[in-house]
Structure 1
Amino acid sequence: MNSSNISLLALNDSEVNGSCLADHFNAFEKRFILLTDVILSSLIFVMGLVLNSLSVLVLKRDIGKSSMSVLLLALSTFDTVFIGLSAPYIVVYMGLGVLVRDSAGVALPAVWYLGSAARTARNWIILIVALDRYTVVQNPFMSGRRSNPRRSRIYCISVSAASLLYNLPLLLEYTVVPHRCLPLNVSQAQPERLGQVYMLVYKKLMHFIFLSLGPVLWLLVFNALLIRSLLVASRIRATITREATRRTEDTKMLVVIIAVFVATELPGAVWQLLLDTNFEKGNWFYSYFYSIGSLLTLLNSAVNFFIYCVWSANFRRNMALALGRPPRRKKFQQPKPAAQRSLRFQTDEIRLEPMNNRKTEEAADEVELSDEPLGVTEEQKRRQLLLMRFE
């Protein structure tokens, strides 16, 4: 989990564990680390697992219709895996002192590897979502070819495979070493033992390009382009339809998602940059910045549900359906054949004749259609009916 490993230095030697904490931490810093790295992290774990599971339940209702729903479903899935694997790794293994006595050193490296792969896939999926939305906004008439659920599934599978391959070297970093304070051996990551070339190329250059600053910079560019497209779309509302309105709504939601992602990932990237410039680990700023950056990284995986609820009416509608509460929808009366349409003018009979509820509703709709000006052609009626479909 690289920079998101919730204060390895603090949690590995916490007073809560009954072990020894580094000497440079004062009493206030120890309480701060306990608050951020154990208490708040645990709350985010629970919230993230529940809300991401609910997001998966809602988003899967639209995976056959919308490519964005497929990508957001993959994003929620990767967030769930990342949070679920971070919980035992951070809170149980390092925060509460329940040490995994794994003599072979297999369990902890596997959890760390899969959690890092989930975080990598999450970062890349957000880039693909931004690219997919930019394609739809720039070429709405070609969006059916370039952006479709089937192609999005291929993207998700490719990202999953690529993230698993990218994080394979992490399995080589772990080795079994004696614990600093307890009489047992534990698995611990020691990437320095793989050489300076590995540290320079994989842990620094590739990390900045593919995981931290690279995705953040690309997302800033896409966000600026999407905001520009929203401003342009607001000036041509005269020709907007319901489908165009939904595309604009999805674009606004994605702009917020990207903004939250950048705001929560940037502190971790800055911390990694400070670490690579030999920033003094004993400095008080080091522990605070590390804990806050790691907490924001976890928060990023737990808050997307709130963004969906606030910015997407379609998500709220699907959530109501998933929870068994169908939303109120405006009914549209289908046009009837000409032989049946003559009932529109029999208003007196409609008022006097006793009918059941269904007939009364149909008759009322027909009466409403009869309020047409004289001289209206059939072509104008047909256009009016087509426009009513998008109201």
Structure 2
Amino acid sequence: MAANASDVAMQPAQPALFQFYNWFVGVHGYASVVVCIFGVFTNIFNITILTRRDMRTPTNILLTWLAVSDILTMAPYIPFAIHFYCPPADAQGNPDKFTYNWIMYMLFLINITATTHTISNWLGVSLAVFRFVQMRSTSRGPLAKERRIRQVKGITLAVNVLSSVVLIPNYLTNEIQWQALDNNTIVYGIKDLNLATNQTKTIVLFNVINYAVTAKLVPCLLMIVFSGSLVYTLSVKNRERRRRLSASGKKSKKDSRQATTTRMLLVVIILFLITEFPQGILILLSATMPGFYANVYTLLGDLMDFIALLNNAINFVLYCIMSQQFRARFLEMYLRRAVLHKPLEESGTTSERLCLKEPPTKTTLAD
């Protein structure tokens, strides 16, 4: 969460970075509200479509809970952005906005977004790991599919519980403090952690580093490892598929669908890496490098918040671009065009139809 404008204005900074902060803080609130409203509605679309009976797959369960996490990130941010950023407020010029109740809400938002980002990052790891294992597995059929669904539900529960438990010390780090202005008006704010100074408490340093490592850097590194493995496995499978097609002269629709699904998940994971990995590095530098928090991190805080919100909102667009079946289900459920009331099998060729749907075996659908 970015610092308030009044706090940043008192701190030395690189002129170009400070100028960027002064410009972006003016547009951050309005842009964030638009992105959040769009993201909340589109993630509701994601949930309603991905939980349809005919879309029930292990991968879609993970994507559904990712959408839930994104909603829990964006929905609380809307009133925060409107109150503090539309237009931008500071404690000196707008003391009425820095009441105890609103700072309590800010503290709640800091904790809930830390939790939801941690959950989303580890769900991203789960997507990469699960897809990698799935592509190398030879198990097919309804029993294998149900077993994978049970495994995914257990993984999702573990990610939600463990992410909340690991961050309990982090919840206790931030505190509310009050300040009396020149006119004796009392304003409230989040207590400065004094990162990378002689005043930094050991528990604070531990909690910040723990958050940077466990919530950002480690999951991002795991996503890099398994994404690379996915790319390698996909390239191997593509070579094998081309050899089979060359030998038989037939088209392999199943392999093509699997490749489409894997590519889509890779794009989701890459967006995670672009958003979260730089944040993890900046948080780590803030905890260890004197002056970095005041001169760099606080000035980039609004931009990092906005990029994270944009990543939360963009999955719906990605699914629509890459999945013909997702597009068809969305149009059928929400636009109700008569031409789209035909069964899915009549709405396009089989080779166009998969992204989120699991590839079929000869007799049933499986992972």
| Smaller-chain TM-score bracket | 0.7 to 0.9
Unpaired runs of 5+ residues, structure 1, are 15-20, 332-385
1:313 pairs with 301, 308, 324, which one?
324
Unpaired runs of 5+ residues, structure 2, are 90-95, 246-250, 347-361
2:75 counterpart SS class:
helix
Equivalences for residues 159-178 of structure 1 within 5 A: 159-178=159-178
Conservation of the 8 A alpha-carbon contact between 2:121 and 2:215: yes
TM-score by length of 1: 0.70
How far does residue 278 in structure 1 lie from its aligned partner after superposition?
A: 1.9
1:213 pairs with 205, 213, 217, which one?
217
CA 1:24/1:303 → structure 2, altered by over 3 Å: closer, same or farther?
same
Q: Give a deviation string over 1:207-259, Cα, whole Å, max 9, x none.
A: 23211211111111111111112111212323775444332221110111111
Match of 1:37 in 2: 28
2:117 pairs with 96, 116, 119, which one?
119
1:8 counterpart SS class:
coil
Whether 1:75 aligns to 2:63 is: no
State the AA in 2 paired with 1:8.
Answer: A
Q: Give a deviation string over 1:165-217, Cα, whole Å, max 9, x none.
A: 2222243234332247582242524556997331332211x223211211111
Match of 1:358 in 2: none
1:199 pairs with 175, 195, 204, which one?
204
What percentage of aligned pairs have identical amino acids?
18
State the AA in 2 paired with 1:130.
Answer: A
1:254 pairs with 265, 273, 276, which one?
265
Larger Rg: 1
Conservation of the 8 A alpha-carbon contact between 2:26 and 2:85: no
Conservation of the 8 A alpha-carbon contact between 1:268 and 1:294: no
CA 1:111/1:280 → structure 2, altered by over 3 Å: closer, same or farther?
closer
Q: Give a deviation string over 1:276-318, Cα, whole Å, max 9, x none.
A: 32244554x5555444333222221111111111222232232
Equivalences for residues 1-391 of structure 1 within 5 A: 5=1, 7-10=2-5, 21-22=9-10, 24=12, 28-29=19-20, 31-62=22-53, 65-93=56-84, 96=87, 97=89, 99=97, 101-102=99-100, 107-141=105-139, 144=144, 148-179=148-179, 181=181, 183-191=185-193, 196-204=201-209, 206-237=210-241, 238=244, 241-276=252-287, 277-281=289-293, 283=295, 288-323=299-334, 324-325=336-337, 326=340, 329-330=344-345
CA 1:179/1:242 → structure 2, altered by over 3 Å: closer, same or farther?
farther
Match of 1:380 in 2: none
CA 1:169/1:32 → structure 2, altered by over 3 Å: closer, same or farther?
same
CA 1:166/1:288 → structure 2, altered by over 3 Å: closer, same or farther?
same
Q: CA separation in 2, counterparts of 1:31 and 1:191?
A: 23
Q: Give a deviation string over 1:134-187, Cα, whole Å, max 9, x none.
A: 111111426926962232222222222222222222432343322475822425
Q: Give a deviation string over 1:325-357, Cα, whole Å, max 9, x none.
A: 4365445xxxxxxxxxxxxxxxxxxxxxxxxxx
CA 1:174/1:93 → structure 2, altered by over 3 Å: closer, same or farther?
farther
CA 1:191/1:48 → structure 2, altered by over 3 Å: closer, same or farther?
same
How far does residue 23 in structure 1 lie from its aligned partner after superposition?
A: 6.1
- The total of aligned residue pairs comes to 320
CA 1:23/1:135 → structure 2, altered by over 3 Å: closer, same or farther?
closer
Conservation of the 8 A alpha-carbon contact between 1:89 and 1:112: no
Q: CA separation in 2, counterparts of 1:95 and 1:8?
A: 16
State the AA in 1 paired with 2:177.
Answer: V
Q: CA separation in 2, counterparts of 1:287 and 1:111?
A: 17
State the AA in 1 paired with 2:238.
Answer: S
Q: CA separation in 1, counterparts of 2:164 and 2:279?
A: 22
Conservation of the 8 A alpha-carbon contact between 2:51 and 2:60: yes
Q: Give a deviation string over 1:18-75, Cα, whole Å, max 9, x none.
A: xxx4364778445423245323323322222222222122211158631001000000
CA 1:65/1:28 → structure 2, altered by over 3 Å: closer, same or farther?
closer
State the AA in 1 paired with 2:208.
Answer: K
State the AA in 2 paired with 1:152.
Answer: V
